[in-house]
Amino acid sequence: MPPPVAVTMGEPAGIGGEITLKAWLRRSENLPAFFAIDDPSRLQALARRLGWDVPVVAVDSAADATAVFDRALPVLTQPLAESVEPGRPAIANAASIRASIARAVELAQDGQASAMVTNPIHKGVMYQGGFHFPGHTEFLAHLVECQGDEVMMLACRTLRVVPVTIHVGLAEAIRTLTSDAIVAAGLATDEALRRDFAIANPRLAVAGLNPHAGEDGAMGREEIDIIAPAVAELRAAGVDATGPLPPDTMFHAAARAGYDAALCMYHDQALIPLKTLGFDEGVNVTLGLPIVRTSPDHGTAFAIAGTGQANETSLMEALRLAATIAANRQGHAP
């Protein structure tokens, strides 16, 4: 039996705790064994508040979690600095949130956890608490000492997308888009599809930036000067890449059948089709790390935290995908 999956605390005033509890209640639905790195008293109080029969058991190690999982939610204790009410984050807890992530990384690195799934954090709270990274992805790359290799993929059952530029404004995304960045994202995606998704011959569709993929320069030269040279370089490196393609015709069902992942030029070009096709089941996957990390593709949802309304589907999909990737890596020949 593989080691269990570590699930981080996330922002304790958000919905991470309740979707973790709900996922455990649905553990028989093809979920891998998992454990939370959290404050057990917080999760117990949350379960009582919501009227859910979720026994919470503190464990001393990840190895103990598998034996407990069928009858209780195992929790490796990460105390909070300050008690918290749903929807009301406390800056004092930023260090506990960060420690939960770091501990999950350590357990994944030494094989005690097969993978890690991160519950959503609130970046504003983390920044005020002394967090100096743009988000989870960059912090994880720092912890495993592979800064610059990390690539964000979003996946649902019918689509995988990789944005080349991520959390920057649209004007900045256009200004900073380079052939080198496209090539780096394409190579990382090709390798991940082979190793993590067990696709022997991956096919990449590369989106254009402008309407109609620039229409031969009539609507911009980025396709000619930046994207097409990157596609040519990827193909020369052995990657089955096609493009630049008109973005408005890439995401209908027949088009999606022709590729395994879409390389997109900016954040919303990737996330709008992904969330349209699989809003509740989207998963964030960090490519390029030596450990397996996935995350639900949503935020902290303070407005509904503590009400029991949060949808646990994305977390469940993140757990399933994390376990699948971990198993694929075990069977992948280096």
Pairwise CA distance, residues 26 & 20, whole Å: 10
Pairwise CA distance, residues 150 & 57, whole Å: 34
Residues 6+ apart with CB under 8 A from 229: 179
Helix or strand run (H / E) with residue 317: helix 313-331
Structure tokens at 267: 């954040």
- 275 annotated among ligand-binding-site residues: yes
- 160 annotated among ligand-binding-site residues: no
- 136 annotated among ligand-binding-site residues: yes
Nearest to 79 by CA among 62, 99, 59, 51: 99
- 212 annotated among ligand-binding-site residues: yes
Angstrom distances, CA of residue 122 to CA of 91, 97, 147, 188, 299: 10, 10, 22, 27, 8
Burial, 169: exposed, middle or buried (Cβ in 10 Å; 0-12, 13-18, 19+)? exposed
Residues 6+ apart with CB under 8 A from 108: 6, 114, 115, 116, 291, 292, 293
Nearest to 45 by CA among 83, 11, 96, 8: 83
- 195 annotated among ligand-binding-site residues: no
Q: 243's torsion region: left (phi>0), alpha (psi -120 to 50) or beta? A: left
Side-chain half-sphere exposure of 187, counting CA atoms within 13 A: 14
Return binding residues.
Answer: 136-137, 167, 212, 267, 275, 284, 293
Return binding residues for a divalent metal cation.
Answer: 167, 212, 267
Return binding residues for substrate.
Answer: 136-137, 275, 284, 293
